[in-house]
Structure 1
Amino acid sequence: MRVFRALPTAAAILFASATLSASAASATPSASLVGAATPSAAVGSTATARALVPRLAPTPQQVSPGRGTLPVPSTVTVVVGSGADPAARTALTATLRAAGARQVRTVSPARAAPAGALTVYLGGPTENAATAGALAGLHAGGPAGLAAQGYVLASGREHGHGVLALSGVDGAGTFYAVQTLRQLISHHTLPAVTVRDWPAMPIRGTIEGFYGTPWSHADRLDQLDFYGAHKLNTYEYSPKDDPYLRSQWRDEYPDAQLAQLSELVQRAEANHVRFTYALSPGLSVCYSSADDLAKLVAKFEQVYAIGVRSFNIPLDDISYTKWNCDADAQKFGTGAAAAGAAQAYLLNAVNAAFVARHDDVAPLQTVATEYYDVTESPYKKALRDRLDPDVVVMWTGIGVIAHQVTVEQARQAKQVFGHDILLWDNYPVNDYLRGRLEMAPYLHRQAGLAGVLAGDTANPMNQAAASKIALYTVADFCWNDRAYDPQRSWSAGIDEYAGGNHRFAAALRAFADVEYQVPKITGEQAPELSAAIKDFWTAWAAHDAHGIATFEHRVAAFAAAPGVIRQRAEPSFVTETDPWLTSMAAWGQAMTTALDLLHARRAGDTDRAAADRAAIADQVAAATRPVDPIDGKTPVKVGDGVVDQFVTDALGGT
C-alpha cells in the first residue's frame, strides 16, 4: 500500500528480539518488569494477593488473584495428552526450565494424580481429559463458552501439592496460556491465580506492506517469534521487494526462495501465527483471462504445498481507469464500476477454483483499490453487489493514514463494502515519512472496534526491531481493546524491551519520546521532553535551583541515552537506528552546552558564553548531518520542534 501518496490518489510496530524473542518462550520477566495486576481483573481477596500478580501483556480479560505462591521446584511433572498442542508443549518445557526446573517429567492423563511439589496439566478439553479435574480442584471453571483462542490458567494448592492447569479452547488458546504463565513466574515462583482470557479481535497482527528497504529473512523470523509471545496471530506477507508477488506474479518460486518462504511458514505455525500470502497481480493481470487465472491458482497451489493456508489478492496502488488487455474492455466496459466488476470476477474465480477446493484454507482476502474511505461510489457498489460474500475486504480507515479509527467509521466501511472488514492500519509504517521513526503507542483507535472489524493488521516500519515498541501496544489493543491504555501499554512495552534494566528503560523511553510524532496521528512530538522544557523555563525565570537542577539531570541522561542503547539493545535495533542515535547524542551535547550558555550569560561571563555559542554551532551541525539510510538523503528527525527550539531559545536568551 503506497502510503506516501496523498489522497485521493489511492491507486497510490524492545523487546523480544533475536535476543528477547528467541527467548520469548523461555525468558522469565521479573515482577518489576511487568508491573501491577491488571485493573480489569476480578478482585482478589487481599491487596497482598493482587500485588503478587505482575502486569500481564496483552491485558487479560479476567484475573482473579489467589492466596500465596508456588515455588517452581527442580523436578516438575507435566500431565499431557497425546493431542496436546506441540507448540504449547515446547513453550511450556522452555518456560519451566528457565524458571529453575532441571527436570520436566511428562506423564499421560492416566497417571494424573498430583505428584511432587508441582504438577502441571497441559491442554484443553480436546487435548487432555485430566485438565478438567485439575481446574475443578482449584475451583476454576473450564474454557467452555470462551471465544476461539481463549484459555483458562489456574494455579494453587490441592491437598498440599502445587497444581497448575493450562486449558485452551483450542491449541492456540493453550499456547497463549503458556505465554501468560511465562510472565507470571518471577524468581522461580508462581503466584496462585486464575486467569480467564480470550481475544477481542479474531485476526490480530501485521502486514509487511511498506515500500523501501524490506525486512531481512532473519527480521521476519524474529518478528514471528515476537508475535507468538504477544498473542498476535497473523502475518501478511506482502513485501514490495518480492518480484514474485508483483512484477513476476505469474512465475512460480525458484527452489531457494521457496525454501525461505517455507521456513517462514513453519516458524509462523510454531508461534500460532497465520501466514497470509498476499499476491498482487493488478499491475498486469487480464481479469477475464483464463490463462491468468490458471497461473494465479498455480502460484497459490505452490505455496499451499509448503503450508500456506491463508491468501490475499491486494488490488491497491493500481489504476482502474485503464485495462491491461483489450478483452477486459470488451467484457466489462469502462469506468470505476467496470473495474469493480472485473475485480469481483477474478476474486470469485479464485474462490471457486482454489479456495473452495481446500477445506483448510481461510476466507480469501482482498485490498480494494478504493481502500481509504467510506464514500459510496460506483466502484464500491460493484464490489459490494458482485463479490462473493465470504471474501474479506481490507480498509485503511478514513485516509491512507487514518488520524483515528472509530466504531462508526468501521460500521460504515462494512456497510459500503458489504463485506467483513479487516483493518490495514498504516501505523507505525514510516515509508512516507523519511527521516522519522514511529515509536509512539497505538493511538486514537476506539474501544469497541473488535465488535465490528474482522481484525486489525498494522503496517510496521522498515526498521523491524524498532517497530516492536509500537507493535507491543498494537497487540495489547487487539487482544483487549476495552482495557487498553496507550501510555500504560507504551511504558510496559519499553520496560519489557529493557529486560528489567531501569537505566536502559529510561534511555529507551527518552529515545522513543523524541521519535513520537506522527503528524497525521499523534500530532505532537516529544511530549515528555516538551513538558520538562516548559517546566525548566518557569524554573529558570524564578531562579528555582531545584527545578533547574532537575532539568539539567534530565538533559545529562538524554545525552547519555544513545550510548546506553548501543550497549544494551539487540544489534539489529542499534544498526537500524544508528543515524537517529548519532543525532540524539549530538543534540544532547547541544542542549548541555545551551544550559551552560544560559548560566554563563546569567553570571556575566562573556568569554564562556562566546565559546558555548561556537560549540553549539558545531554540535547542531553534527546533529543535523545524519540521513535516513533508506533514501540516503533525508536528514533524520529527533524531537524536531522541541529539542532544536530549546537550543534556539537558549541562544536567543529566552
Structure 2
Amino acid sequence: MPFETAEAAPIPLRGIIEGFYGTPWQMQERLDILSFAHKSGYNAYIYAPKDDPYHREKWREPYPADKLAELGQLVKQAKKENVHFIFAVSPGLDVSLHGYKSLQDEEKMLIKLESLYSLGVRDFAIFFDDIKDKDGAGQAAFLNHIYARMKLRHGDLGNFLTVPTEYFYEDMVTAEGTRKSYTDAFAKNLNPHILVLYTGEGVAKAPLTDAELEKADKLYGRALGVWWNYPVTDYMENKLALGPMDELPKKGLPAVFFNPMKYEALSRIALATGADYAKDPAHYSPEKSWQQAVCKQYGPAAQDMLLFAANSRHLENDWANIGLPDDPDFQQKAAKMWQSWPNGRTFAEDYQAVAEAVKMRQRSAVKLQQNLPPAVLDECRPQLLQYGRLADASETARLLLSAKKQGKAVQVRSLQQKLAYEKKVIEQHKKEATLSEQAMGAFIQRAEAAETAAGSVHDAE
C-alpha cells in the first residue's frame, strides 16, 4: 500500500496537518514548521488550512500565480527537509457526486491536483469533513476515480489520504454499535489503497487506547490513521494548548497527524512531544517529553516557561476533553493543604508549600514578560498577563486563608475586597485568555469560600 514506507519508524507516516479554522499560517511560518518537522523527526506535512479559499470554498478555481509560486517554494523546502508535502483539497461543501456534474467536478479536481503535481507534489488528500451531505457511496466513488486516474497518469504517485464526513468513532456507529449507513457505504466502497484518517473516539477526546483503535479498525475493515486535534484551539481560542500529547496507541497505527494552533511558535511544544510519540510509541512518556521539549526550546527561560505552560494544557467544553491536567504540581500541593485545613497536624507545612508555589508562579509571570522572544511573546501575551493576574489573586487568596485561620476579621474583610476586585479583572479578560481553571482558578474559589477557622468574622472581632 502506498502509505507503507520503507522507513523503520514504528509509525510510518507521521506529521503535522495545517488543518485548523481561522487565519492560516503565513509563508515564513510554513517554512519554519517544515524545518522544525525535519529536525523533530516528522516526515510529512499536510497543507489543508480551512480558510484558504482555494482549498475549500473555491476549490474548483486554480490558485493565482503568486499563491502557486508560494506553494512551489514550500514543496521545494519540504523536499530539502525530506518531508512529504501532502496537498489537500476539501470539496465537500458543493461537490457533485452523481451525473454529468460529477464528471465535470472530477475534471476540476484533476486539474487542481495536476497543477500541484507539476510543482513536485506526489502526495495528495481529499477531505469530506465538516459538511452536511452524507453520501458515503458517492464520496467513495469520487475518491476512487480521482485516485485511479492519478495513479494511471503518474507511476510515482505517493500517499493518497481522505477524511470521511463521519470522522470520529462515536459518530460512526449506531446505538447498537453497528456501522451507520454513511460509514458502511463509505468503508465498503473505498479503494483499500486510500488511507482514511479519523480523530479517535470524539473530535477532540483523549486518550486514544490500543483497544479503541482496534475497535475502529474493525469497524472500517482496514487500518485507520489518526488526525489528532491537539494542540489546535480553533474551538477555544482564549486558551493555549501548551502541554504534551496524551497517551496514544502503542501499535498498529499507519499514520498520525497533529493539528496545531494558529500560533506556530507556541505549537512547537506539543508538536515536539508528538514527534517523540510517533518515533517510539511504546516508550513515550508525555511528562518527560514535555519537559524536554520546553527545556530545548526555551533555554534559560525554560523553568519559567514550564510553570506557565503547565497552567495551559487541558482543553474542555461540552464536547472536547483533551490534554493532560493543568499544573498538576500546584493541584497536588493545594489538595494536600485542603486535607489539613484548618487545624491539621501538617497544615503549616502544607500551607508553606502552597505559598512557595504561588510565589514561583508570580515570579515566572514577570520574568517571562522580560525574557521571552518577541515572536513568542506576541502569541501568548494575553494569556501570560492573565497568568500573572491569577498568580497575584492566588497570593491574595493565600493571605486570606491565613487571616481566616487566625480569625482576623478586619484583615479578612480587606483581603476579601481585594480578591473580589482581582477576580473581577480576571473575569473581564476571560474572553481573550483562560487558563489554570482547575489549578489556581479552583484554589482562589475555594479559599474565598472557606469558613473562618475561629468562628464567624463577627465573632472573631
Shorter-chain TM-score: what band? 0.7 to 0.9
**Residues 95-134 of structure 1 aligned to structure 2 (within 5 Å):** none
Q: Name the structure 2 match of 1:257.
A: 67
Poorly superposed stretches of 4+, deviation over 6 Å = none
Q: What amino acid maps onto 2:144 in structure 1?
A: N
Query: For the residues of structure 1 that align with 2:218 and 2:83, how far apart are their CA atoms?
Result: 29
> Aligned pair count?
431
Distance in 1 (alpha carbons) for counterparts of 2:352 and 2:188: 67
In 1, Cα distance between the equivalents of 2:409 and 2:265?
46
Asked if structure 1 preserves the Cα contact closer than 8 Å seen for 2:333 and 2:353, the reply is: no
Q: One-letter code of the match for 1:566? A: Q
* Offset of residue 384 of structure 1: 3.1
Is residue 474 from structure 1 mapped to residue 274 from structure 2 by the alignment?
yes
Tell me whether 1:624 sits opposite 2:427 in the alignment: yes
| Corresponding residue number in structure 1 for 2:361 | 558
Helix, strand or coil for the counterpart of 1:244? Answer: coil
Q: Deviations over 1:92-112 (max 9, x none)?
A: xxxxxxxxxxxxxxxxxxxxx
Bigger CA drift: 580-589 or 356-365?
Answer: 356-365
Structure 2: distance between partners of 1:565 and 1:265: 36
Cα distance change of structure 1 residues 388 and 513 upon mapping to structure 2, 3 Å threshold: same
Preserved contact between residue 279 and residue 314 of structure 1 (Cα < 8 Å): yes
Paired residues of 1:438 and 1:517 also in contact (CA < 8 A): yes
Aligned to 1:530: 331
Q: 1:319 to 1:583 in 2, by over 3 A?
A: same
Q: Is 1:506 matched with 2:303?
A: yes
CA distance in 2, matches of 1:309, 1:571: 37
* 2: CA distance, partners of 1:610 / 1:411: 58
> Could you say if the C-alpha distance between residues 417 and 546 of structure 1 is closer, same or farther in structure 2, counting changes exceeding 3 Å?
closer
Matched residue, 1:412: 215
Letter in 2 for 1:516: R
Equivalences for 1:298-377 in 2 at 5 Å? 298-321=111-134, 339-373=135-169, 375=173, 376-377=179-180
CA displacement 1:149-195 (0-9 Å, x = unmatched): 4xxxxxxxxxxxxxxxxxxxxxxxxxxxxxxxxxxxxxxxxxxxxxx
Alignment partner, residue 6 of structure 2: 148
Q: Which amino acid aligns with 1:405?
A: L
Is this contact kept in 1: 2:382–2:432, CA < 8 A? no
SS at match of 1:265: helix
Q: Does 1:243 align with 2:53?
A: yes
Question: What is the CA–CA distance in structure 2 between the aligned matches of 1:356 and 1:420, rounded to whole Å?
Answer: 25
Distance 1:638 1:607, change over 3 A: same
Q: How far did residue 547 of structure 1 move?
A: 4.1
Aligned to 1:201: 11
- Greater share of helix residues, 1 or 2? 2
1:396 matched to which residue of 2? 199
Partner residue in 2 for 1:446: 249
Q: Which residue is equivalent to 2:457? A: none
Segments of 5+ residues of structure 1 without an aligned counterpart are 1-146, 150-197, 322-338, 628-633
Identical residues among aligned pairs (%) = 32
Query: What secondary structure is seen at the aligned counterpart in 1 of 2:22?
Result: coil
Q: Aligned partners of 2:444 and 2:165: how far apart in 1? A: 46
Residue identity in the other structure for 1:216: Q
CA distance in 1, matches of 2:353, 2:67: 55
Matched, 1:267 2:64: no
Instruction: Tell me whether 349-358 or 407-416 shows the greater mean CA deviation.
Output: 407-416
Q: Which residue identity is paired with 2:191?
A: D
TM-score, normalized by length of structure 2?
A: 0.87
The structure whose Rg is larger is 1
Name the CA shift for 1:419/1:447 in 2 (closer, same or farther; >3 Å): closer
Q: Contact 1:390–1:419 at 8 Å: present in 2 too?
A: no
Q: CA separation of 1:483/1:645 partners in 2, compared to 1, >3 Å: closer, same or farther?
A: closer
Report 1:162-311 matches (<5 A): 198-288=8-98, 289-311=102-124
Structure 2: how far apart are the matches of 1:587 and 1:245? 41
Tell me what 2:295 maps to: 495
Once the two structures are TM-superposed, the CA of residue 276 in structure 1 deviates from its matched residue by 0.8
Asked if structure 1 preserves the Cα contact closer than 8 Å seen for 2:358 and 2:391, the reply is yes
The answer to whether the 8 A contact 1:210-1:429 is kept is yes
How many angstroms does 1:392 deviate by?
1.0
Is the CA contact (8 Å cut-off) linking 1:624 and 1:636 kept in structure 2? no
1:433 to 230, 236, 246: 236
* Aligned partners of 2:314 and 2:325 also within 8 Å: yes
More displaced 10-residue stretch of structure 1: 583-592 or 544-553: 544-553
- In structure 2, which of residues 370, 375, 383 is the aligned counterpart of residue 580 of structure 1? 383
8 Å contact 1:444–1:521 — kept in the other structure?
A: no
Matched, 1:516 2:313: yes
State which drifts further: 434-443 or 245-254: 434-443
Cα distance, 1:474 vs structure 2: 0.9
Higher alpha-carbon deviation: 470-479 or 525-534? 525-534
Q: How far apart, CA to CA, are the structure 1 residues paired with 2:260 and 2:361?
A: 26
What are structure 2's unaligned runs of at least 5 residues? Answer: 174-178, 452-461
Greater shift in the superposed pair: 244-253 or 613-622 = 613-622
CA separation of 1:469/1:217 partners in 2, compared to 1, >3 Å: closer, same or farther? same
8 A contact 2:131–2:165 mirrored in 1: yes
Q: CA deviation at 1:252?
A: 0.8
User: Partners in 2 of 1:264 and 1:479 — Cα distance?
Assistant: 24
Aligned to 1:640, what secondary structure does the other structure show?
coil
